[in-house]
Amino acid sequence: MSDPRSALSARLDATSSPVREMLSKLGATLAFPRGIAAQSAEAAELATCIDATAGEVWRDHVPVGLPAVIGPLRLSAAETVAYAPTPGVPALRDAWRAKILTEHPRLADGPVSRPLVTQALTHALAVVAELFVDPGDPVVLPVRYWGNYDLIFGTRRGAELLRSPLTRDDALDVDGLEVTLERGFAQRDKVVLLLNFPHNPTGFVPTLDEADALVAMLARVAAPRERRLVVVCDDAYAGLVYAPDALRRSIFERADDLGPNALTIKIDAVTKELNAWGLRVGFLTYARPRAEAHAAEVLDVLENKTATAIRGTVSSVSRLSQTLVLRALESGRLEAEREEIRALMAARHAAVLRTAADPRFASSFDLHPCRGGYFVCLRLPPDVPADAVRRRLLEAHGVGVIAPTDGDLRVSFCGLEDHQIGPLFEAVDSAVRHVMAR
Ligand SMILES: Cc1ncc(COP(=O)(O)O)c(C=O)c1O
């Protein structure tokens, strides 16, 4: 039997794709083993007489679930407690791919992988970090970001995190990002860029013009022959956009514009898109430019390596969770229900912006630009430590918020009722004044 690692490397080498130089040392070695998972999959197709591969209890040709476990569900054991394939339930992968293509018409008929099912966004990001980040590799991200990137890219993979200003004068700071990317390329030929729109913690979303300027800059920066740019689109809050001129689609759809030296990766999940925070179902999808000669082969190799990373971490994602998501995608009701939630969030967002703009609060805080997502981020006056305000809010007002940096407070408006918005900002104002007077 030939070694799957060398066979997969040979396939990737034969494509001459720039993707080869994007992989980490670990990513370069990963290849799906010809072990239990691969042999069981083969048997599921070909063992028409007796299948003695599976580590599941079967009776009368179906898996046996205990009534105490699956009784409360109106679903079969095959849909709930049976193992799911490592890359995910095939019908779910196809349904999510169809969703991505519907939402991103530019990608139609282009080289886009089948999404791989991960244990929600966190796991998808950890898999990306394993596949593409070596110790010391520059990872460019905004000054403010979802704190878990530190663990996923910094602590676990030893990346060098380069922080870039997200906005300047309330617009996307494309020039600032270009300078940071150039700093990264001065260190290594490969740079990983994390994009997250709508953004956590600010809710920032670029305008369509800003997105075009961003893509043009990225194409320019990635153009030199030796450079490799991995663009990771963390689309956690996809669809939750409230301003009419804001970008509604993922930068993922611009693979053609970014050119061969950039690899676009989409990370998304049911977590916030389908209000299914605890189901733990996410997706990792790759796109290549149409002009790449062997794009389908490159995507196939990337899918294999990604499935290998999944196999080596969680083995496969909950079958029950995947079934619930697939049923939802097939229900025909999902878009209407999502729109209802988006409208609710848009109304809360509008109420938050209106309330925070009250001139009474002007000396206590103002808002970072926010056009989507779950959060707004309050900029505090200089020398007012955010954590002191956060503690005061807890102790004197019974109000909980997050202090993501020394100078900001993050307020989650997604869970706030209308009547809570005014009192919350009153309390922040009072706590800031208290801390300033100390
Ligand atoms: C920007 C961003 N990425 C990733 C995640 C992780 O999501 P999940 O719960 O699907 O792992 C979050 C969760 O808050 C987030 O805000």
Round the CA-based radius of gyration of the chain to a whole number and report it: 23
Looking at 281, 301, 330, the residue that finishes a domain is 330
Q: Which of 177, 170, 162 is nearest to 202 (CA)?
A: 170
**C-beta of residue 167 within 8 angstroms of C-beta of residue 369:** yes
pLDDT per position as a tens digit, 180-197: 999 999 999 999 999 999
pLDDT per position as a tens digit, 336-361: 999 999 999 999 999 999 999 999 99
Instruction: Please report the pLDDT score of residue 2 as a whole number.
Output: 73
Ligand 1 centroid to Cα of residue 236, in Å, is 6
Same domain? For 178 and 296 the reply is yes
Q: What percent of the chain has pLDDT over 90?
A: 95
Distance from C-alpha of 97 to C-alpha of 105, rounded to nearest angstrom = 12
Same domain? For 249 and 278 the reply is yes
Distance from C-alpha of 428 to C-alpha of 433, rounded to nearest angstrom = 9
User: Once rounded to an integer, what is the mean pLDDT over residues 295-315?
Assistant: 98
Tell how strand 171-172 and strand 116-118 pair up: unpaired
Q: Which of 212, 206, 177, 205 is nearest to 193 (CA)?
A: 177
Atom of ligand 1 nearest to the CA of 120: 10
pLDDT per position as a tens digit, 229-275: 999 999 999 999 999 999 999 999 999 999 999 999 999 999 999 99
- Secondary structure element (H or E) that encloses residue 121, with its range: helix 120-132
Ligand 1 centroid to Cα of residue 255, in Å, is 23
**C-beta of residue 218 within 8 angstroms of C-beta of residue 182:** no
Instruction: Find the Cα–Cα–Cα–Cα dihedral 264, 269, 275, 276, rounded to 10°.
Output: -170
Q: What are phi and psi of 409, to 5 degrees?
A: -120, 135
- CATH code: domain of residue 215: 3.40.640.10
**C-beta of residue 166 within 8 angstroms of C-beta of residue 202:** yes
Instruction: Please report the pLDDT score of residue 115 as a whole number.
Output: 98
Considering its fold, how many domains does the chain have in total? 2
**C-beta of residue 250 within 8 angstroms of C-beta of residue 258:** no
Instruction: Please report the pLDDT score of residue 1 as a whole number.
Output: 58
The DSSP code for 367 is E
Q: Is residue 3 pLDDT above 90, yes or no?
A: no
Same domain? For 358 and 419 the reply is yes
Same domain? For 272 and 354 the reply is no
pLDDT per position as a tens digit, 68-81: 999 999 999 999 99
User: What angle, rounded to 10 degrees, do the helices at 295-311 and 4-15 form?
Assistant: 150
Specify the residue for token string 């950890």. 126
pLDDT per position as a tens digit, 37-70: 889 889 989 999 999 998 999 999 999 999 999 9
Tally Cβ neighbours within 10 Å of residue 264: 27
Atom of ligand 1 nearest to the CA of 146: 1
Tally Cβ neighbours within 10 Å of residue 329: 18
Q: Which of 376, 373, 344 is nearest to 361 (CA)?
A: 376
Same domain? For 313 and 360 the reply is no
Q: Is residue 410 pLDDT above 80, yes or no?
A: yes
Q: Is residue 428 pLDDT above 70, yes or no?
A: yes
| 242 CB within 6 A, ligand 1 | no
pLDDT per position as a tens digit, 22-35: 999 999 999 999 88
- CATH code: domain of residue 361: 3.90.1150.10
Confirm whether 243 is domain-assigned. Answer: yes
Q: Which of 360, 359, 366, 356 is nearest to 416 (CA)?
A: 356
User: What order of strands is seen across the sheet that includes strand 408-412?
Assistant: 366-367, 375-379, 408-412, 402-405
Q: Which of 413, 293, 425 is nearest to 359 (CA)?
A: 425
- 128, 146, 235, 410, best to mutate for ligand 1 pocket (most atoms within 8 Å of CB): 146
Report the DSSP beta bridge partners of residue 107: none
Q: Is residue 159 pLDDT above 90, yes or no?
A: yes
Confirm whether 46 is domain-assigned. Answer: no
Same domain? For 320 and 358 the reply is no
Q: Is residue 334 pLDDT above 70, yes or no?
A: yes
| 118 CB within 6 A, ligand 1 | no
Task: Tell whether pTM > 0.75.
Answer: yes
**Which residue, by CA, sits nearest to atom 8 of ligand 1?**
121
User: Once rounded to an integer, what is the mean pLDDT over residues 397-407?
Assistant: 96
**C-beta of residue 237 within 8 angstroms of C-beta of residue 362:** no
| 86 CB within 6 A, ligand 1 | no
Looking at 299, 330, 361, the residue that finishes a domain is 330
Report the DSSP beta bridge partners of residue 409: 378
Looking at 330, 353, 370, the residue that finishes a domain is 330
Same domain? For 379 and 322 the reply is no
Instruction: Identify the sign of the CA torsion 370, 376, 380, 384.
Output: negative
Write out the residue range of the structural domain in which residue 343 sits. Answer: 335-437
**Three-class SS of 306-326:** HHHHHHCCCCCCCHHHHHHHH
| 119 CB within 6 A, ligand 1 | no
| 200 CB within 6 A, ligand 1 | yes
User: Once rounded to an integer, what is the mean pLDDT over residues 409-436?
Assistant: 97
Instruction: Please report the pLDDT score of residue 28 as a whole number.
Output: 97
Same domain? For 196 and 257 the reply is yes
Same domain? For 252 and 386 the reply is no
Specify the residue for token string 């407070």. 409
**C-beta of residue 267 within 8 angstroms of C-beta of residue 234:** yes
Q: Is residue 363 pLDDT above 90, yes or no?
A: yes
Same domain? For 321 and 341 the reply is no
Tally Cβ neighbours within 10 Å of residue 323: 21
